[in-house]
Amino acid sequence: MVERRAQEWIPPVAAAQAGVFTVAQAQDAGMTTAQARHRRESGAWRRVAGDGFTLTSTAATPWRQVQAAALTWPGGVVALSSAARLHRLPVPDDGTVHVVVCRRTRSRHLLVSHRLDLDPQDVVRVGIGLVTSRRRTILDCLGRLPERDSQGLLAWVATRDLLSTDDLAEALRRRPRSWGSPARRAAMDDLARGTLSGAERRLHTILRRAGLTGWEFNQRVWDADGLIGRVDVLFAAARLVIEVDGYAFHDIGRFQADRSRQNRLVAAGFTVLRFTWADLADRPAAVLAQIRLLVADG
């Protein structure tokens, strides 16, 4: 028991750092070099990122990764997909911690350095660390993620009113030639047209070519409990909702949220049709026939 308590010892300063600390901080609190080495080699401590460690029983969460980055590179700002995970944006984890630094710095122990121009309003404090704001993180990710992930993020933030065309236009005006500007310009155009993915663009084309009217895209829908959310296409008169399951990033949480929203739509008296990319690309005539049937019934 005594040995176990000794193995679980961490320096007092770690309490203010979400349980993250450095070897130097442990030594400043009285631990010897040999004791610190033993805890690393025995697996009692785990490396979070950079110079930051925690007890092995402590999860390496995005919050703790920010603390580890701050302990390794003071003044660095966690950004891109690492900041997105902290802000709970639907962005894939690439297994690294991206940090904006003021001068060229070699990457180390999961920390990857970047040079980006950040304004004071682009940065927020998280514990002892710094992170790009949610708005700046969204703009950066839209410009730098692979196309599929960028489209998935755009759809997610747009349907939650977290980003507007004005936000994108302002970002392009301030940094017209920055890395990712072409992708952000494309995102602004998609947002303005309401086509948040390639699948949605294809659906709109099918509807327009068929001459169907009475539909609107990216519409808010309510029930007795309040806002259900935005739907991809709404035929209001027929109380028909069409949702597109594109090929972009999805996770279990998103899947559950989509199904819960669909249940609310049905309970509120809407008919819901869901189409995949394969439906729209390979079976457009069948898609159109289903829609025509329900619109005619409405």
pTM higher than 0.75 for the full model? no
CB 235 within 8 A of CB 252: no
How far apart (Å, rounded) are the C-alpha atoms in residues 251 and 229? 18
Domain match, 114 and 24 both? no
Domain match, 246 and 127 both? no
Residue 104, pLDDT score: 82
Is 199 or 56 the better-scoring residue by pLDDT?
56
Region of poorest pLDDT, from 37-46, 154-163, 199-208: 154-163
Kindly report the CATH number assigned to the domain that includes residue 292: 3.40.960.10
pLDDT digits 0-9 by tens, 8-46: 789 999 999 999 999 999 999 999 999 999 999 999 999
Domain match, 75 and 176 both? yes
pLDDT digits 0-9 by tens, 53-72: 999 999 999 999 999 999 99
In this predicted structure, the answer to whether residue 2 has a pLDDT above a threshold of 50 is: no
Of 67, 31, 73, 27, residue with least CA distance to 48? 67
Domain match, 203 and 164 both? no
3-state secondary structure the chain: CHHHHHHCCCCHHHHHHCCCECHHHHHHCCCCHHHHHHHHHHCCEEEEECCEEEECCCCCCHHHHHHHHHHHCCCCEECHHHHHHHCCCCCCCCCCEEEECCCCCCCECCEEEECCCCCHHHEEEECCEEEECHHHHHHHHHHHCCHHHHHHHHHHHHCCCCCCHHHHHHHHHHCCCCCCHHHHHHHHHHHHHCCCCHHHHHHHHHHHHCCCCCEEEEEEEEECCEEEEEEEEEECCCCEEEEEECCCCCCHHHHHHHHHHHHHHHHCCCEEEEEEHHHHHHCHHHHHHHHHHHHHHC
Give the pLDDT band (50/70/90) at residue 103.
Answer: confident
Domain match, 27 and 121 both? no
Domain match, 70 and 187 both? yes
In this predicted structure, the answer to whether residue 178 has a pLDDT above a threshold of 70 is: yes
Mean of all residue pLDDT scores within the chain = 88
Domain match, 84 and 181 both? yes
Domain match, 78 and 101 both? yes
Domain match, 202 and 274 both? yes
Domain match, 9 and 87 both? no
Question: Count of domains in the chain?
Answer: 3
Domain match, 160 and 238 both? no
Of 145, 169, 193, the position where a domain reaches its end is 193
Is 194 or 244 the better-scoring residue by pLDDT?
244
Domain match, 97 and 30 both? no
pLDDT digits 0-9 by tens, 229-261: 889 899 999 999 999 875 444 444 556 667 788
**Mean pLDDT along residues 217-232:** 90
Of 21, 45, 60, the position where a domain reaches its end is 60
Domain membership of residue 97 as a residue range: 66-193
